[in-house]
Amino acid sequence: MKYDLVIFDADGTVLDTIDDIYSTMGHILSKNGYPVATMSDIRQHSGKGVSYLISNCVAGVTSFDKQSMLNEYMDYYRKHCADKTSPFPGMKDVLQFLKKSGCKAAMVSDKEEYTTRSLCRRFLGGLIKYVASEQLNEDGLAENDVITQVTTGVAVSKDRVLYVGDTENDAEKAKKASVDFVCVSWGMRTAEQLKESGVENIVTTPEELLDYIKAE
């Protein structure tokens, strides 16, 4: 196996979190008097942080208290982040293979680190050894290189690292960090959307992902 570390994006890659994200957005939008966003809207605008998600779900509104809505979102999501969330079928098998093979597994997310760790403990046991949070600005742009942060923390050379994500944003992060990348099609984007965005190396099942990881 050519990798010593596999870094996974959390939402849409390992954990199926979309229903809880959708419920949380629906709660705060309704509470503040805005139309509830569709599931399609939530998927389309996910992957660039909560602030970006909120801004795009109230698109067309000239003035709103984003910070207040952000605080409400975080408070509600902390309490409800595991209501409907679960690992995608087959992903625990991938993580268990990595553990048995001696390959380290890490997880990154644009969620607050506490929430990501909580979900890892609840659903993944000891299969994820390192968790890091990506800091995104209001435009959804990264303010820290979370992939490099993880590789440095785990002390693994980048040529032995694979990043696994589910969006074109993940592909761009991997490119900037100079690590190998493979994209899954069961998350926030379909295979067709990924291809249209120029993403290569797409797998459609966890079994295909495992074969990709195993390949020399």
Q: Which residue shows structure tokens 């079928």?
A: 89
Structure tokens at 16: 């199926």
Mean per-residue pLDDT, 1-18: 96
The string of pLDDT tens digits covering residues 35-88 is: 989 999 999 898 888 989 998 898 767 678 889 999 999 999 999 999 999 999
Mean of per-residue pLDDT scores for the chain:
92
Closest CA to 129 of 1, 5, 2: 5
pLDDT of residue 154: 93
Quote the CA–CA distance of 205 and 186 in Å, as a whole number.
8
pTM of the predicted model as reported, rounded to 2 decimal places: 0.93
Residue 10 host element (H or E): none
Phi, psi angles (nearest 5°) of residue 183: -115, 140
Q: Is the pLDDT of residue 113 over 70?
A: yes
Mean per-residue pLDDT, 136-163: 87
144 — pLDDT class (breaks 50, 70, 90): confident
Share of the chain above pLDDT 90, in %: 77
Other beta carbons within 10 angstroms of residue 141's beta carbon come to 12
